[in-house]
Amino acid sequence: MTERRPKSHLPDVAGNGLLDRRALLGRGILFAGAAATGAGTTLTGAAAEPLKDDPWSLTMGAITPPRQEPSRFENKVIRTLSNPNHEFRNSHARTPHHLLQGTITPAALHFTICHSGLPDIDPDKHRLVIHGLVKQPKIFSLEDLARYPMVTRNGFVECGGNSAPMFSSEPFQGTAQALHGLVSNSEWTGVLLSTLLEETGIDPKAKWFLAEGADSLALHRSVPVKKALDDAMIALYQNGERIMPGNGYPMRLWLPGYQGNMNIKYVRRIKLLDQPAMSFYEAKTYSQITPGEKLWKFHFLQEVKSFITHPSFGHSLKGPGYYEISGVAYSGTGRIAKVMVSADGGKSWGQAALQGPVQPQAFTRFRMPWRWDGQPVVLQSRAWDEAGNAQPTREQFVAARGQTERPVASPLAFPNQHYNSITSWGIDNKGEIKHVYA
Amino acid sequence: MSTRKLLVSLALTLAFGASAAWAETPGLGKTITEADIKPWNLDVLPDGTNLPPGSGTPAQGAPIYAQKCAACHGEKGEKPAPGYGPMVGAHKFDKIDAAKTVTYYEFATTLFDVIRRSMPYTTPRTLTDNEVYALSAYILSINKLIGENDVMDAQSLPKVKMPNAGKFIVRFPDRI
């Protein structure tokens, strides 16, 4: 094998062909590119046909529309649905991470979990009321809020049930979309909740607030006032445009780094309290059973996680040569400090390049240059956040949190919540990719 | 604070006295009274705060359940429709994916609150408070958490002894 590889200035940093991330800076790529041709000949030798103009280059195209849609060739880049037949129950849509790049999730592809459909809210009639343990209850229209000082911040929202198929005793065979599609990342713009609490004042007895939506369930969750004073936002815009209906139009609570369900969509009411409300979702769904009948509540944080999106299940490698491994890493605690990548199932690791700017509670894209020699490999990524938290291995995670007794057959099963271990993609010598435990 | 802001603040202090502490905020929201918020103010807290007047028994709840709840949640809380969990079940939660029924909740108020704010699924907030008490009583009773003749009201509901009360560990105490 080794004699087939042209020598690079930069040595492999880990097993099965992981290259030094500095190769991404330029010169190393050329050597890796040469490797892709296999025989070490020049790249020009592979040119196939003389160039010609295609039909679209010889005629005027369609007139530009008022709102752009992706190319018709991208019609497979869509969310997967949990309730395609519109039954009277909740409906989920998952982000196709394996078909996206960068860090911003297009708003149309942001995941949604709607427990009672998408409310059709007239923004002129929507109101946000803040009351309870405040000095003066206040009510705000969207027009009022739009005049307040706003902040813009990049960050993720992740469902507490994201990655739950990995609780399965056997690896669930699915794409990064099926496994991890309940996390997305946007640029959110809105008014800090602390700004609005300056208007109402806060009674010192207030330790919690509940946030409630204008959906038919009037879905509500309790949040410590600490978060309100820290960075909670009443978000009005998603990636520069008004928030999508599935994501909370016309306004949602955004709690950077906290469990998705707490980020109340269609928020209409904030009530300051001296105790948590113990709402249905915090008392039941998002209170975890852990091994030994140990029960957890108030699992606010989405802990440090990463997963490889390229290459991953649903892709196949077209022969040996150069590939870029990349994926996303994020932590509810803060910034990502480091991502390590392995191509030999965790035996050896190389440090990935982080695409800046690395922002707190936001997707960070990592990249790793790789030269595949055509042999079976297992790709993994592992992230650390700036507080020193390490993403657990699957073995560590299962030791602490358990797994199902029988394999999980559907990504809709949600055996438990808050799964964050390493994901492993096994690639065979044909370049086919499976989800494996390693 | 800039000199200009300080001067504005001083001027407002002179003009409005005690309210000057808020004078620098945009002040765009309208004031509203708790009485006007009441139609939305439905949350019930674990200690029973905000429970409405009224009462109900399991016997009163059974026919309402059969009529308005059973189609999704199953007759007598068993065999629910696809996509819905059962309403009755074991008190043991020794598997990480055990079905969490009403016995899982730490407080009985959670049950009352979710019925009152969210149910019935297709016609939410159409039940009277007496009906919500009666349905809460019925569901607690089929789970053997109260007796068949117990009356649920603002005094008795928060006192229902739930098997998991006090068992939950706060996952991130430093965040509270």
Please check whether residue B116 lies inside any domain of the structure: yes
Q: HEC states along A349-377?
A: CEECEECCCCCCCCCEEEEEEEEECCCCE
Does residue B48 sit in the same domain as residue B85? yes
Q: Is the pLDDT of residue A226 over 60?
A: yes
Does residue B92 sit in the same domain as residue B130? yes
**Which residues of A are less than 8 Å from B29 in CB distance?**
130, 138-140, 144, 196, 199-200
Cβ-proximal residues to B168 (8 Å cutoff; 6+ apart), any chain:
A287, A295, A296, A297, B106
Does residue B147 sit in the same domain as residue B73? yes
Q: What is the average per-residue pLDDT within A408-422? A: 95
Q: Are B138 and A133 in contact (CB under 8 A)?
A: no
Q: Is the pLDDT of residue A29 over 80?
A: no
What single-letter DSSP state applies at residue A390? B
Pure H helices in A12-65:
27-36
The reported pLDDT for the residue numbered A235 is: 98
Does residue B135 sit in the same domain as residue B95? yes
Please check whether residue B172 lies inside any domain of the structure: no
Q: What is the average per-residue pLDDT within A92-120? A: 97
Question: Per-residue pLDDT tens for B140-176?
Answer: 999 999 999 999 999 999 999 999 999 999 999 999 9
Does residue B158 sit in the same domain as residue B132? yes
- Give the lowest-confidence range in A31-35, A389-393, B75-79, B88-92: A31-35
The reported pLDDT for the residue numbered A357 is: 96
- Nearest Cα residue in chain B from A400: B96
Burial A422-435 (b: 16+ CB within 10 A, else e): bbbbbbeeebebeb
Q: How far is A300 from chain B (nearest CA, A)?
A: 7
Question: Per-residue pLDDT tens for A375-384?
Answer: 999 999 999 9
Percent of chain A with pLDDT over 70: 93
**Amino acid symbol at A186:** S
Q: Where would I find the beta strands (DSSP E) of A125-228?
A: 127-132, 138-141, 151-158, 183-192, 208-213, 220-224
Q: Which residue has the tokens 């520069």?
A: A240
**Which residues of A are less than 8 Å from B85 in CB distance?**
none
Q: Is the pLDDT of residue B13 over 80?
A: no
Q: What share of chain A is helix, strand, coil (3-state, %, to 5)?
A: 20, 30, 50
Mean pLDDT of chain B: 88
Question: Per-residue pLDDT tens for B72-85?
Answer: 999 999 999 987 87
Mean pLDDT of chain A: 93
Task: State the best of A86, A227, A280, A301 to mutate against chain B, taking most chain B CBs within 10 Å.
Answer: A280
Half-sphere exposure of B100 (CA within 13 A, CB side): 24
Give me the residue from B25, B107, B117 closest to A199, CB to CB: B25
- Nearest Cα residue in chain B from A197: B25
**Which residues of A are less than 8 Å from B125 in CB distance?**
218
- Give me B127's structure tokens: 């039940």
In chain A, CATH 2.60.40.650 sits at 305-436
What single-letter DSSP state applies at residue A283? I
The reported pLDDT for the residue numbered A216 is: 97
- Domains identified in chain B, total number: 2
Give me the residue from B46, B110, B170 closest to A298, CB to CB: B170
User: Which of B:76-115 have CB within 8 Å of A?
Assistant: 83-84, 92-98, 100, 104-107, 109-110, 113-114
Q: Is the pLDDT of residue B10 over 70?
A: no
Give me the residue from B27, B32, B164 closest to A295, CB to CB: B164
Does residue B118 sit in the same domain as residue B152? yes
Please check whether residue B66 lies inside any domain of the structure: yes
A32/A23 Cα distance (integer angstroms): 9
Does residue B48 sit in the same domain as residue B25? no
Give the three-state DSSP class for A169: coil
- Give the lowest-confidence range in A12-26, A136-150, A216-230: A12-26
Give me the residue from B26, B45, B169 closest to A295, CB to CB: B169
Question: Per-residue pLDDT tens for A346-375?
Answer: 999 999 999 999 999 999 999 999 999 999
Cβ contact A218–B47 (<8 Å): no
B104/B99 Cα distance (integer angstroms): 9
Could you give the strand order of the β-sheet that contains A112-114, starting from the edge strand earlier in sequence? A80-81, A91-94, A112-114
The reported pLDDT for the residue numbered A9 is: 58
Give the three-state DSSP class for A233: strand
Q: Is the pLDDT of residue A45 over 60?
A: no
A190/A234 Cα distance (integer angstroms): 5
Q: Is the pLDDT of residue B9 over 50?
A: no
Cβ contact A279–B113 (<8 Å): yes
Q: How confident is the model at residue A26 (pLDDT cuts 50, 70, 90)?
A: low
Cα→Cα distances B124→A116, A198, B43, B62, B115, Å: 11, 34, 14, 19, 8
Closest CA to A92 of A183, A186, A203, A209: A183
Cβ contact A199–B29 (<8 Å): yes
Q: Which residue has the tokens 């007598």?
A: B76
Q: Is the pLDDT of residue B22 over 60?
A: no
Q: Which residue has the tokens 């915090």?
A: A282
Does residue B18 sit in the same domain as residue B44? no
The reported pLDDT for the residue numbered A46 is: 62
Q: What is the CATH number of domain A305-436?
A: 2.60.40.650
Cβ contact A148–B124 (<8 Å): no
Please check whether residue B176 lies inside any domain of the structure: no
Q: Is the pLDDT of residue A264 over 60?
A: yes
User: Which of B:13-52 have CB within 8 Å of A?
Assistant: 22, 25-34, 37, 40-47, 49
CATH of the domain at B118: 1.10.760.10
Does residue B47 sit in the same domain as residue B98? yes
Q: Is the pLDDT of residue A36 over 80?
A: no
**Which residues of A are less than 8 Å from B28 in CB distance?**
140, 144-145, 147-148, 199
Does residue B63 sit in the same domain as residue B132? yes
Q: What is the average per-residue pLDDT within B62-81? A: 95
Q: Is the pLDDT of residue A3 over 50?
A: no
The reported pLDDT for the residue numbered A89 is: 87
Q: Which residue has the tokens 């438990």?
A: A416
In chain A, CATH 3.90.420.10 sits at 127-293
Cβ contact A218–B117 (<8 Å): yes
Percent of chain A with pLDDT over 90: 88
Q: Are A392 and A420 in contact (CB under 8 A)?
A: yes
Pairing label, strands A289-290, A267-273:
unpaired
The reported pLDDT for the residue numbered B1 is: 40
Cβ contact B40–A268 (<8 Å): yes
Q: Are A378 and A426 in contact (CB under 8 A)?
A: yes
- Give me A136's structure tokens: 């003066």
- Give me A367's structure tokens: 């990249």
The reported pLDDT for the residue numbered A23 is: 82
**What are A323's strand-pairing partners?**
A370
**What are A174's strand-pairing partners?**
none
B106/B162 Cα distance (integer angstroms): 6
If you classify domain A127-293 with CATH, what class do you get?
A: alpha beta
Q: How confident is the model at residue B34 (pLDDT cuts 50, 70, 90)?
A: very high
Cβ-proximal residues to B38 (8 Å cutoff; 6+ apart), any chain:
none
Does residue B86 sit in the same domain as residue B8? no
Tally of CB atoms within 10 A around B123: 10
Q: Are B123 and B131 in contact (CB under 8 A)?
A: no
Please check whether residue B27 lies inside any domain of the structure: yes
Cα→Cα distances A404→A172, A187, A401, B82, Å: 12, 36, 10, 21
Q: How confident is the model at residue A34 (pLDDT cuts 50, 70, 90)?
A: very low
The reported pLDDT for the residue numbered B23 is: 56
Q: How confident is the model at residue A25 (pLDDT cuts 50, 70, 90)?
A: confident
Contacts made by residues B145-151, CB under 8 angstroms, sequence distance 24+: B145/B102, B145/B103, B145/B108, B146/B58, B148/B58, B148/B59, B149/B57, B149/B58, B149/B59, B150/B57, B150/B58, B151/B55, B151/B56, B151/B57
The reported pLDDT for the residue numbered B89 is: 82
Q: How far is A191 from chain B (nearest CA, A)?
A: 12
Which domain covers residue B73, as residue numbers? 40-167
Cβ contact A297–B106 (<8 Å): yes
A421/A306 Cα distance (integer angstroms): 8
Does residue B9 sit in the same domain as residue B70? no
Q: Are A190 and A155 in contact (CB under 8 A)?
A: no
**Which residues of B are less than 8 Å from A400 in CB distance?**
none
